[in-house]
């Protein structure tokens, strides 16, 4: 009987540890998303300003810079989507662990 209680305590502690780790990963994923969202916002402002400048006068270097920024923006958008899916996956894992902890 004592061995079963010890095993149950060990199992519960392992669940708690997994839960803490997943919460930490979830917080990190959300922080990364916030950083990339801020970068995307800044990038959008840069692109808009450069496009306005390009509309006033043609400049090959400026047009190339805009193309480069658009490619970077596209890459960041892809990254955001991957990170969002990962954050959702982690949130699901956290919910499952929370449910398991509440059942014990």
Q: Name the residue range of residue 12's domain.
A: 2-101
C-beta separation of 77 from 40 below 8 A: yes
What share of residues in the chain are helix, strand, coil (percent, to 5)? 95, 0, 5
Looking at residue 49, its pLDDT comes to 96
C-beta separation of 62 from 54 below 8 A: yes
Looking at residue 2, its pLDDT comes to 58
Number of domains within the chain: 1
Please state the pTM of the whole predicted model. 0.74
Looking at residue 4, its pLDDT comes to 72
Looking at residue 104, its pLDDT comes to 67
DSSP annotation of 53: H
Output the tens digit of pLDDT for each of the chain's 104 residues: 556 778 878 888 999 999 999 999 999 999 999 999 999 999 999 999 999 999 998 899 999 999 999 999 999 999 999 999 999 999 999 999 999 988 86
CA-to-CA distance for 83 and 36, rounded, in angstroms? 10
Give every CB contact of residue 102 below 8 A, 6+ residues apart in sequence. Answer: none
């Amino acid at each position: 009987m004592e061995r079963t209680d010890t095993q149950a305590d060990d199992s519960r502690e392992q669940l708690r540890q997994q839960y803490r780790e997943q919460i930490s990963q979830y917080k990190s994923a959300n922080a990364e998303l916030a950083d990339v969202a801020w970068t995307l916002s800044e990038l959008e402002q840069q692109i808009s300003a450069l496009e306005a400048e390009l509309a006033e006068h043609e400049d090959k270097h400026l047009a190339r810079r805009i193309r480069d920024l658009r490619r970077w923006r596209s890459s960041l958008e892809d990254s955001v989507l991957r990170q969002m899916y990962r954050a959702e996956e982690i949130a699901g894992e956290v919910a499952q662990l929370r449910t398991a902890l509440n059942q014990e």
